[in-house]
């Protein structure tokens, strides 16, 4: 049996993984199939969510080593990138924004911030890694959640904007020093991109160890390596945003990443109004999107580590709303998406062209009333 690091518990969100028609929400155990081909699964808690990794094929010893290495990578990245972990690069920057000399960070943090700024640019700021002061103000998902005053929101909006982040390198003898500074009153929050990055890196670790068939689920941020048991495409279910515990569609795919953002998981209610965790950076308040959920599906291989981008895009497309999201997808045909949205009093589903034929929508999809 595997040990579980128990740091609280929240059920995996967004995505159910359907293997052989079986809903996998199992406890952390290692299954051993007959013969030399093993199956290993481990579930743990990281980045404030449930992380589960399942591996197929190879010896038990090889798979256990691979699981150890993948989880070590995920915990390492949490320590580097979490806005909540004291001593992380991000925490350090947030403690003292607008520091003229900037903050020295690891090459890796620097690289991810560069990617985050690039996604912010490509999405017209719908994804904004400097949203941290606003997410902290609203506190959705924490015990400090509350509706702030308009004056509080406006004060923080004055400081907002990913364009105020500066990244630069300095040469110190043979060493390159990576520096970051953010604008006055700003705070970085990589909550909409770092799980995708961790999924990409953990998948790379597994591939380096020769794993040919695997499923990584970082709180609904999925990567599948190869094919299911090397035999057929994986069947991944997408959470129905209106019916708790039910998938509204399944996708058949391999070597891919699938990431969903929605307003139905992290929220609080006040005065009969639901306030969720995806903030519209131009408004400073939870996005009034007409999307119920945005799922991004992209190729994920050693040469195309797209879970990072998919994570940022799932959040960005949600903020954009259906019309802008669709226009974005037309300009970026490499990005596959399934958008559940509300139009004219009806709930609808949009699937990008490249995915048609791989997606099956279930009868009764999006027919719930959203009660959880």
Q: In the complex, which residues of this chain contact ligand FAD (CB under 6 A)?
A: 47-49, 78, 81-82, 84, 127-129, 131, 135, 141-142, 189-192, 194-195, 219-220, 261, 265-266, 277-279, 281, 311, 314-315, 319
Q: Could you give the CA distance from residue 195 to residue 350 in angstroms, rounded to a whole number?
A: 25
CB-closest chain residue to ligand FAD: 191
C-alpha torsion 12→15→18→19, nearest 10: -70
Q: Could you give the CA distance from residue 46 to residue 218 in angstroms, rounded to a whole number?
A: 8
Q: Could you give the CA distance from residue 34 to residue 254 in angstroms, rounded to a whole number?
A: 25
Residue 365 interface partner, choices Mg ion, ligand FAD, none, CB cut-off 5-8 Å depending on type: none
Choose between 213 and 307: whose C-beta lies nearer to Mg ion.
307
The 146-165 site mask, x for binding Mg ion (CB under 5 A), equals --------------------
CB of 16 to ligand FAD, least distance (A): 15
Phi, psi of 137 (to 5 degrees): -60, -45
Binds Mg ion by CB under 5 A, chosen from 88, 311, 321, 365: 311
Choose between 197 and 275: whose C-beta lies nearer to Mg ion.
197
Residue matched to tokens 């380096």: 208
Q: Report if residue 306 touches Mg ion, rule: CB under 5 A.
A: no
Choose between 135 and 257: whose C-beta lies nearer to ligand FAD.
135
Q: Report if residue 315 touches Mg ion, rule: CB under 5 A.
A: yes
Choose between 105 and 190: whose C-beta lies nearer to Mg ion.
190
Q: How many residues bind Mg ion (CB under 5 A)?
A: 5
Contact, 51 vs 74, CB < 8 A?
Answer: yes
Q: Which stretch binds Mg ion (CB under 5 A): 35-43, 78-86, 186-194, 298-306?
A: 186-194
CB of 30 to ligand FAD, least distance (A): 26
Contact, 198 vs 79, CB < 8 A?
Answer: no
Q: Report if residue 278 touches Mg ion, rule: CB under 5 A.
A: no
Contact, 322 vs 291, CB < 8 A?
Answer: yes
Buried b or exposed e, range 126-143, using 16+ CB within 10 angstroms: bbbbbbbbbbebbebbee
Residue 168 interface partner, choices Mg ion, ligand FAD, none, CB cut-off 5-8 Å depending on type: none
CB-closest chain residue to Mg ion: 315
- The residue length of the chain stands at 372
Give the neighbor-by-neighbor strand order of the sheet with 175-181.
Answer: 103-105, 175-181, 166-172
Q: Could you give the CA distance from residue 359 to residue 237 in angstroms, rounded to a whole number?
A: 10
- Interface with Mg ion (CB under 5 A): 192, 261, 311, 314-315
């Amino acid at each position: 049996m595997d040990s579980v690091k128990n740091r609280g518990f929240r059920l995996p969100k967004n995505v159910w993984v359907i293997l052989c028609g079986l809903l996998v929400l199992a406890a952390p155990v290692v299954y051993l199939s007959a013969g030399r081909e093993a199956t290993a699964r481990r579930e743990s808690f990281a980045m404030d969510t449930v992380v589960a990794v399942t591996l197929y094929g190879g010896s038990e010893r090889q798979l256990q080593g691979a699981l150890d290495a993948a989880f070590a990578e995920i915990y390492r990245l949490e320590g580097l990138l979490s806005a909540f972990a004291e001593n992380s690069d991000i925490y350090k920057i947030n403690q003292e924004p607008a520091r003229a000399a900037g903050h020295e960070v690891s090459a890796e943090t620097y690289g991810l911030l560069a990617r985050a700024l690039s996604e912010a640019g490509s999405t017209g700021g719908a994804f904004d890694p400097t949203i941290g002061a606003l997410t902290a103000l609203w506190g959705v998902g924490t015990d400090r959640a509350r509706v702030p005053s308009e004056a509080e929101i406006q004060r923080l909006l004055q400081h907002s904007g990913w364009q105020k982040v500066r990244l630069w390198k300095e040469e110190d003898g043979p060493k390159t020093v990576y520096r970051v500074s953010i604008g006055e009153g700003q705070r970085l929050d990589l909550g909409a991109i770092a799980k995708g990055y961790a999924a990409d890196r953990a998948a790379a670790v597994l591939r380096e160890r020769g794993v040919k068939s695997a499923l990584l689920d970082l709180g609904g941020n999925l990567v599948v390596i190869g094919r299911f048991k090397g035999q057929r495409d994986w069947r991944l279910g997408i959470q129905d945003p209106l019916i708790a515990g039910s998938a509204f569609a399944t996708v058949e795919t391999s070597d891919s990443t699938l990431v969903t953002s929605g307003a139905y998981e992290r929220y609080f209610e006040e005065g009969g109004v639901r306030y969720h965790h995806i903030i519209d950076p131009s408004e400073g308040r939870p996005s009034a999107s007409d999307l119920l959920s945005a799922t991004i599906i992209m190729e994920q291989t050693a040469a195309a580590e797209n879970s990072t981008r998919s994570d940022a895009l799932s959040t960005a497309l949600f903020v954009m709303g259906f019309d802008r999201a669709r226009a974005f997808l037309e300009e970026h045909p490499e990005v596959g998406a399934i958008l559940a949205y509300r139009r004219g009093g009806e709930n609808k589903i949009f699937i990008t062209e490249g995915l048609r034929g791989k997606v099956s929508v279930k009868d009764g999809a999006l027919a719930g009333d959203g009660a959880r």
